């Protein structure tokens, strides 16, 4: 199963990237499949950022654009005053995402939690078009590798057992200038699980959206549902996150409240151990900065 899953992922990635290099590529077809009139009617700005909160959105960096993303989560608010309500502790992720074309982007990242490295690509399959295509659809693939603990400490944890793969289909619709919603079914494959009764292949379903309250601010919410009988060796819960987006020109600043400590899909989808009702709430923020490498005419 693991080999079949990995083969499928690699095949999709190679197909996408190799097609980009050809004149009759998938990316060319996706770009050219719309008439000039239809392109003028493509819905833009479904979301303000490439992350809803933890979940990736259908948005991606434009062609020849580099995004630098910082995701930061402090400790639990329930830690109390001695830990300054979690501000004394933190997890962080740095990410770089680059737009190869207007429909394909690639990225890498590194999280302090379990000292995890990740690589991803996002392919836009459909773009919402007035009177023609009702939704935007993107395919998102992420590979994560945990480098903690050190190999010298646990040599039996080879690269195979440290790796997980996540496939997500991102389906979004911008209903109005203010309201956008997204549904995100996901499949996570863990090469190693905590116990034999845990499943290596885990399905989750995310729902979320944003509501603009001013031209530069919006309220975000996402809820990721993990059906039962998949991860049973630990008490895991559905991930609920709330946020406030503030757009400041080249930056998007997001204030975040979530019960998920991890910021990449294997963690917030299948390893959320906190509950809002118990005060297991992590305050944090996301900051994205975009750099444009297109030549000016």
* Per-position DSSP letters for 22-69, written without gaps between them: STT-HHHHHHHSS-HHHHHTB---SSSSSBSSSSB-S--PPBTEEEEE
Average pLDDT, the chain: 86
Residue 221 tokens, joined: 């919410």
12 neighbors 5 (Cβ within 8 angstroms): no
The confidence score (pLDDT) of residue 38 equals 54
Nearest one of 208, 202, 227, 132 to 170, comparing CA atoms: 208
How far is it, in rounded angstroms, from Cα 69 to Cα 289?
A: 7
> For the chain, how big is the Rg over CA atoms in Å?
19
Query: Which whole number is the average pLDDT over 108-125?
Result: 96
DSSP 8-state assignment for residue 83: G
274 neighbors 76 (Cβ within 8 angstroms): yes
Model confidence at 24, in pLDDT bands (50, 70, 90)?
very low
How far is it, in rounded angstroms, from Cα 144 to Cα 173?
A: 28
Residue 19 tokens, joined: 């097609």
How far is it, in rounded angstroms, from Cα 116 to Cα 100?
A: 24
Residue 93 tokens, joined: 């992720």
- pLDDT one-digit tens code per residue, 173-190: 999 999 999 999 999 999
| Structural domains in the chain plus CATH codes | 2-292 (2.40.160.40)
Burial bucket for residue 22 (CB in 10 Å: 0-12, 13-18, 19+): exposed
């Amino acid at each position: 199963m693991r080999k079949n899953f990995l083969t499928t992922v690699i095949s999709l990635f190679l197909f996408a990237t190799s097609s980009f290099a050809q004149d009759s590529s998938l990316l060319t077809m996706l770009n050219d499949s719309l008439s000039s009139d239809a392109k003028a009617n493509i819905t833009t700005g479904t979301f303000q950022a490439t992350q809803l909160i933890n979940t990736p959105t259908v948005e991606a960096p434009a062609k020849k654009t580099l995004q630098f993303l910082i995701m930061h989560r402090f400790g639990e608010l329930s830690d109390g005053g001695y830990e300054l309500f979690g501000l004394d502790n933190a997890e962080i992720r740095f990410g770089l995402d680059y737009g190869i074309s207007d429909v394909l982007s690639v990225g890498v990242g590194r999280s302090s939690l379990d000292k995890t490295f990740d690589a991803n690509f996002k392919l836009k399959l459909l773009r919402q078009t007035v009177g023609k295509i009702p939704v935007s659809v993107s395919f998102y693939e992420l590979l994560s590798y945990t480098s903690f603990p050190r190999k010298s400490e646990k040599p039996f944890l080879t690269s195979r057992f440290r790796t997980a793969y996540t496939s997500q289909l991102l389906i979004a619709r911008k209903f109005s200038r203010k309201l956008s919603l997204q549904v995100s079914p996901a499949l996570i494959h863990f090469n190693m699980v905590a116990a034999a009764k845990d499943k290596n292949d885990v399905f989750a379903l995310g729902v979320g959206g944003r509501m603009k309250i001013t031209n530069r601010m919006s309220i975000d919410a996402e809820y990721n549902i993990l059906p039962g009988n998949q991860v049973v060796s630990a008490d895991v819960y559905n991930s609920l996150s709330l946020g406030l987006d503030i757009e400041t020109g080249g930056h998007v600043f997001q204030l975040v409240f979530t019960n998920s400590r991890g910021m990449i899909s294997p963690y917030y989808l299948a390893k959320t151990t906190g509950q809002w009702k118990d005060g297991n709430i992590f305050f944090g923020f996301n900051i994205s900065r975009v750099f444009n490498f297109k030549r000016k005419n």
